[in-house]
Amino acid sequence: MEPITVSVLAAVAVTELVKTLAKGTGEAGFKLLPLIRDRFRRDEKAKRALDNFESDPPEYEDVFRKNLERLLAEDPAFFARVADVAQQGNLLLVTASGVSEVSGIDQSAKGSGHREEVRASDEARITGVRQRSEDR
């Protein structure tokens, strides 16, 4: 299998995010959105692009995609996380950064092959997380 490129990964991510934002569908988009929000929040230009994209996906898709491609190319760890979510089905992810507190999260997924992650960085705290996989 050929390695995924930045432009292909960005195209897949944008397609999934449009499904999620415009139609409320697309499992991968629901998983990608918090990951992308977390990374874009640390870059003012990207944050503006994401805010605009979330308010009107068709109008701001190109600007959002360019910022996503830039950050994917600049940040290998971000690229790896987005690729992992985009290429694999089920990830239960809770992430917090900066000075934030997340608590009382309950996530479940049906079927097999799920991965569960809780990530906190900077001064963030995460408490009371329950993640589980359930057989169909």
Quick: pLDDT tens for 68-78. 999 999 999 99
The answer for residues whose C-beta is within 8 angstroms of residue 85's C-beta and 6 or more apart is 28, 31, 32, 35, 91, 93
The token duo for 100 is 């934030």
Q: Read off the pLDDT of residues 79-135 as tens digits, 9 standing for 90 and up.
A: 999 988 876 655 566 767 778 787 877 777 665 455 566 777 778 788 888 877 665
Q: What is the identity of the amino acid at 14?
A: V
The number of domains in the chain is 2
- Average pLDDT, whole number, for the chain? 82
Express each pLDDT in 19-29 by its tens digit: 888 777 777 78
Query: Cα–Cα–Cα angle for 94, 100, 101, nearest 5°?
Result: 65
Q: Are residues 85 and 103 in the same domain?
A: no
- Residue partners of 114: CB distance under 8 A and separation at least 6: 89, 90, 91, 92, 133
pLDDT digits (tens, 9 = 90+) for 47-67: 999 999 999 999 999 999 999
- Top pLDDT among 2 and 91 is at 91
Domain span holding position 120: 99-136
The answer to whether residues 53 and 114 belong to one domain is no
pLDDT at 121: 74
User: Both 124 and 68 in a single domain?
Assistant: no
Q: In angstroms, rounded to a whole number, what is the distance separating the alpha carbons of residues 44 and 50?
A: 10
24 & 66 share domain: yes
> Is 94 part of any domain?
no
pLDDT for 38 beyond 90: yes
Instruction: Assess if residue 41 is contained within a domain.
Output: yes
pLDDT at 55: 94
